[in-house]
Every structure is written in structure tokens, then in C-alpha cells.
Amino acid sequence: MEKISVEDIQSLYGIDAWGGKYFSVSEEGDLLVSPVEKRGESVNVKKIVQELKKSRVQTPVLLRFPQILSHQVSRLCKAFDHAIREFSYQEQYSPVFPIKVNQIRHVVQSLLQSGYSHNLGLEVGSKPELMASLGMELPKDALTICNGFKDQSYFEMASLGASMGRNVVVVLEKPFELEQLMKLKKSGAVLPWLGIRIKLQAKGSGHWEKSGGQASKFGMTTIQLLQAIEFLRKHDMLSQLKLLHFHIGSQVTEIRKIKSAIKEAARIYAKIRKNAIGIDYIDVGGGLGVDYDGSKTSSDASVNYTVKEYANDVVYTIAEVCESEHVPHPKIISESGRALVTHHSMLIFDVRDQISESHSQAPVFQNKESQVVSELIYINENISVKNYREYYHDAVEKKDELYSLFNLGMLDIEDRAKGEWLYWQIAIKAIRSSKTAKFVADEFVELEQKMFDKAVCNFSVFQSIPDHWAIDQLFPVVPIHRLNEKPTRKATLVDITCDSDGEIDKFVDLKDTKYALEMHELVEGQPYYVAVLMVGAYQDTMGDLHNLFGAVNDVEVVYDEGKAIIKSVKRGDTISDTMQMYGYEEEKLLAIVRNRLQEVGLSQSESDDLFERYKNQFPRYPYLDSED
Ligand SMILES: *Cc1c(COP(=O)(O)O)cnc(C)c1O
């Protein structure tokens, strides 16, 4: 076994680039998390997994670090506080957490606690989200911002919030919502504050670019904005209008896109502020991105700016426009979701097998082989750095010939096996030789990609990292142990669903995307664990139950007084749970299976035994049982 240094392994997986101060590797080769961002005060992930296993909480498991949530909130608030001081800004900043990014109550509560002194509020995009938020304690001055498409009862719930003393802001998206507002007014209910979402000319960048711009599905055009203000004035509701809102999409990768959106929105604020003097909030929406690959570039998995730069640009730009227009500085709200929660959780699963085309056992050759097999033997023995291209091409031709002859009934299945095996040996040698050239030809790059191992991993992409499947989002992936050993295998990760899309075949890399993950050789009888990191935003509720694999075990870990503490364990769905969701009732299934077992004429004890086995599976985890 070859050793590798901490520095080298950290740069191999990019941990030093994307990990910030949260993630690192110990001298013993274990993945560490420093939830309070201090080196030395860290949680050893492997030890947590082992401890959980002792209490029969098996992988796949999601580990959450609520202290990371606090840290991210204070990082964002500090950046804005700093900018406000630096540019002598006259008003304050408050974050608002968009709960669609992670609705889990524990997560929202941790954020509310950490953001209390900054009046952290909530943004909701639907009636159920609004109802959830009304049941949470918010600071007195915090806002509850209501976005999304609304019906009359959504307006009523917002009014109910206002009656509770909450600062509820209903953001008007479309002109028809003014009619709903009128109905609410006529009913005599308490009116919430109002905001207007505007359509900017400016667009974001990256995957969610189409959330902004004139063609976006959200927000009012300029004429609609002016008419809405007129409508509110006419019906004596203009004093309720407090906020101007825009959102140009999530994970905006380029800072100049953010700057131009702010510039445009601030100008609109300034122009309407002169008539609608109640408007004293500007809400810059979400979009603050996360550097998943550590490259600090405008590629989709990265951002070319820091939180500090973002805060500086928002504050400076708004101040500049307001001063030139001689209007007061507004209070600033941002709806950063991804940036607050991404880092706080990681998924850990065990690897069950490494499937490899090229690592299979050699067949036994006879003295006299068929023509085509003999020719492949010759190529395999004589391929070299000098002739590899030509010899490899010959091998491809021979392989085609092998299959044709087999299909015509002219070769035995043993010949087919030998031929296939030889072809892969030749391919390995060709790839190795191709690497000695200055430029590796595309065909050998592609060939290598085809030959990566497939590591079979005990999880479901569809349940746990749906964005990888749906929108090709990249997440950092790292083994959680043995990181002091040099990895010797390269693999894509296939999940245990019966779906060929259930695979991670793209990995973060500083320069480019990698098509395989460096891994270690599995050791018989020893589990091998891999973590997918930075899955705290959007993944928790977007997952589905493909193949009836349900929610995974969910564990909170905190670092306190020198050690890691498992704070809470929420068991994942059982087989019974996931079946029930689709109409399979345990009682009915049990009755049918019991009857059937009795009918087929087994002895009573055999039938009882089989029935017990069936029944015992219901309360269990749908994922693969641990092997030890
Ligand atoms: C989704 C959404 C957000 C969150 O965006 P992030 O990029 O996660 O910060 C904020 N505001 C609105 C209106 C949204 O729809």
C-alpha cells in the first residue's frame, strides 16, 4: 500500500478548494468536519458512522451539523454589517430565509436562533409554507415575505399573520392579485404589508438564468408596476406598500450579473420612492451562490465572487443610486437560501462492490485456439508504445469479427469469453501507452472513461441527491477514511435503484469536470464509506421514492467541549412506510401472504417460519442491510 500526504489527498479531491474551513483530512486519513470553523475542533466522520452503527443506525445516513448553519448566518450578516459601516449606509440589513430551500423544522429553527439578533425572517412561496412559518417564533421586527402564486385563502392566511402581530409582506406577482387584495379589504380583515415583485431586464447567469429577464414567469412589467401603484393609491392602500422585490435566479455564477440587477432595481426603487413614500425595503432576492468545485470561476458549479464581495456590491450599488436620486436609503433584505444551508449536511453511504471490465480473472488458453482468438492473443502479447494505435484498431476489428462469428454459430461461448477478455487487456495496455504521448487522442480518453470501474453504492440518487439526476448539479464526493492511502481505482458510483440514471458519473474538479472518482481497493470484510458533501440546499425535499427507497436516517451532530455529540437521530422510512405511501397496507399484505402460504400445502411450522420472515421485514430499512 502506497501512502499519500494530507496535502496531496486534499488537493486530489479538491477539499482544500471547496471545503473552506469546514472540511479537512486527519493524519490518520479520516475526513474531519470543523462545524465551528476551527481547525483542531473537529468531528471525525468515520467515528460518528461507527458509533451510529453500534446503535443500529446504518448507512445511508445524512449527517447534519447545525453549528454550520449558525456560522453561515453570521458570515452573511457580518459581511453586510461590514459593508454598511464601510460605505456609511444609513439603514440596516436583515436576511430572510426562503424555506423552500430546506423546510425541515430543525433546520429552520437553527437558522432562526442564529439569526435572531439580525431579525432573520422567513420567505414562503406557497400556502403550506406560510402556514408552517406562522407556527414559528420570529423576532419582533422580522419579516415574513409571501411570494408565489396565491389564491384567496393564501391572502387570508397572510392577513391572519398580520393579525397575530407579524410583519407579513404579501409580494404581488401579477395584476390579478390586486383583485384578491380588494376582496380581502372589503371583508374588513387586517391588511398585511405589501410588496411588488418586478421583472428586471437584467438576468442572472448559470442554470437558473431564466428566472430573470423579461421572459421570466415571475414579476410585474414596468407598466404593470405603475398601474398597481395607481390601483393601491386609488383604493387607499398605498401606505401598505413597503417593499420592492426581485429575484434573478439561484446560484448566480457571475458577480457582474448581480451588480447590474441591483443597479436596475435600485433605480426603479428610487423612481417610485418619490411617489410611494411607504416603500422602505428593497429585497434583492436569492441567488448568492456556492463554490461547489472550489474553482472560484463562473462555471455552473462555482461562483466568481465571495460573500464579502456580494455584500459590498449590494450595499454600495444601492447607496450610490439613492444618492444620485436624492432618496433615502432603504432597508436591505436578501433571501439567500442556498448560501446558508448548503454546507450543513452530508450524505454517507457504503460501497458494496467494484465492478470492473478489466479486473476479471484470466481464462485458461489451449495450445490450439480459434483463428480470431489467436490473433487477439498475438496483439495482446505484442502491443507496445510504438504500435499501440494500430494494434488497438486491429483489436477493435477482431472484436467485431468475434461477435459476428459467434452470432453465426461458428464460435463456442468459451471462445467469446476469451476474446472479450483479451480485448479488455489490449484496451488497458493501449490506454497506458497513450499516456506516454504529448497529446492523448480523444479515442483513448473516451476508452478510458468506458473502462472506469462501477462502484455499487448503497443509496438512491433519486432520493438523496435528486439535482444530480435532474439538472446535472455537481457535489463534492470523498471517501471518509483511508485517505492516507493512495487511491488505486477510478470509478463512477452507481446506486442501488434499477435505473441506469441512478449514477454519479461527474465529479468536481478544479480545472474541469472529472468522470471518475479516485477510490481505494475494497477490503473483504471491511466496510468502505463515501460521503457526498454540501447537500443541505434543495435536496431534502426534492427527492423521490424510486424503487420504494425512502428518506434516509437523519442525524444531528454538534461539537461541544472537545468532543462530537450525536444530538438527535431521526430514523429513515421503513419498508412499511414507503409501501404505505403508495397504497400497500401492511395488514392486507400480511393476510394475503399468510393465506397463500397455508394454501400451498407447506407444513405448519414451515409456513409460520416463512410468514415471520416476511413480516419481520416491514419495520426495516429499505436499503441494503449491513453485511456484518
Ligand atoms: C428560490 C428562491 C430563493 C432562494 O434562492 P437561493 O439561490 O437559494 O438563495 C429566494 N427568493 C425566491 C423568490 C426564490 O424563489
Cβ atoms of 288 and 336 within 8 Å: the answer is yes
CA of 501 to the centre of ligand 1 (A): 27
Atom number in ligand 1 closest to CA 338: 8
CA of 246 to the centre of ligand 1 (A): 10
Rounded CA gap, 76 and 71, in Å? 9
Q: Beta-strand (E) ranges in 159-234?
A: 167-172, 193-197
pLDDT surpassing 80 at residue 420: yes
Three cell numbers at 586?
401492511
Rounded CA gap, 150 and 147, in Å? 8
Q: What digits encode the pLDDT tens for the residues 200-244?
A: 998 888 888 887 777 778 899 999 999 999 999 999 999 999 999
Query: CB-based burial of residue 414 (10 Å sphere; 0-12 exposed, 13-18 middle, 19+ buried)?
Result: middle
Q: Which of 215, 161, 221 is nearest to 196 (CA)?
A: 221
Q: Is 294 in the pocket of ligand 1 (CB under 6 A)?
A: no
Q: Which ranges in 135-214 belong to alpha helices (H)?
A: 152-163, 177-186
> 3-class SS at 143?
strand
Region 308-320 average pLDDT: 98
pLDDT of 19: 86
CA quadruple 388, 389, 391, 393: dihedral sign? positive
Rounded CA gap, 462 and 539, in Å? 10
Rounded CA gap, 372 and 369, in Å? 8
Cα dihedral: 257, 260, 265, 271 (round 10)? -170
Cα 457 from chain centroid (whole Å): 18
404 contacts: CB under 8 Å, gap ≥ 6: none
The rounded percent of the chain whose pLDDT value lies above 90 is 87
CA of 477 to the centre of ligand 1 (A): 25
Region 585-589 average pLDDT: 96
pLDDT surpassing 90 at residue 406: yes
pLDDT of 628: 67
**Which residues are registered as beta bridge partners of 493?**
455, 504
Give the lowest-confidence range in 59-63, 128-132, 491-495, 540-544: 540-544
Q: What digits encode the pLDDT tens for the residues 545-573?
A: 999 999 999 999 999 988 999 999 999 99
CA of 557 to the centre of ligand 1 (A): 27
pLDDT of 353: 93
Three cell numbers at 296?
472560484
Question: Which of 335, 535, 542 to mutate to test ligand 1, by most ligand atoms within 8 A of the CB atom?
Answer: 335
Confidence of residue 359 (pLDDT cuts 50, 70, 90): confident
pTM value is 0.93
First to last CA, the chain: 25
pLDDT surpassing 80 at residue 154: yes
Question: Which of 123, 218, 314 to mutate to test ligand 1, by most ligand atoms within 8 A of the CB atom?
Answer: 123
Q: Which of 429, 418, 445, 360 is nearest to 392 (CA)?
A: 429
Rounded CA gap, 593 and 615, in Å? 9
Region 436-452 average pLDDT: 88
Q: How many CB atoms lie within 10 A of CB 180?
A: 18
CA of 211 to the centre of ligand 1 (A): 10
Q: Is 173 in the pocket of ligand 1 (CB under 6 A)?
A: no
pLDDT surpassing 90 at residue 150: yes
Domain architecture of the chain: domains with CATH: 91-335 (3.20.20.10), 371-449 (1.20.58.930), 576-617 (no CATH)
CA of 354 to the centre of ligand 1 (A): 39
Return mean pLDDT, the chain: 94
Q: Is 288 in the pocket of ligand 1 (CB under 6 A)?
A: yes
Q: Is 247 in the pocket of ligand 1 (CB under 6 A)?
A: yes
Q: Is 101 in the pocket of ligand 1 (CB under 6 A)?
A: yes
Confidence of residue 86 (pLDDT cuts 50, 70, 90): very high
**3-state DSSP helix/strand/coil percent for the chain, to nearest 5?**
45, 15, 40
CA of 101 to the centre of ligand 1 (A): 7
The pairing of strands 345-355 and 477-479 is: unpaired
CA of 334 to the centre of ligand 1 (A): 9
Is 167 or 357 the better-scoring residue by pLDDT?
167
Atom number in ligand 1 closest to CA 208: 7
Q: Is 285 in the pocket of ligand 1 (CB under 6 A)?
A: yes
pLDDT surpassing 90 at residue 37: no
Rounded CA gap, 144 and 162, in Å? 10
Atom number in ligand 1 closest to CA 538: 8
pLDDT of 449: 84
Phi (first) and psi of residue 98, to 5 degrees: -75, 110
Cis peptide bond prior to 487, omega within 30° of 0: no
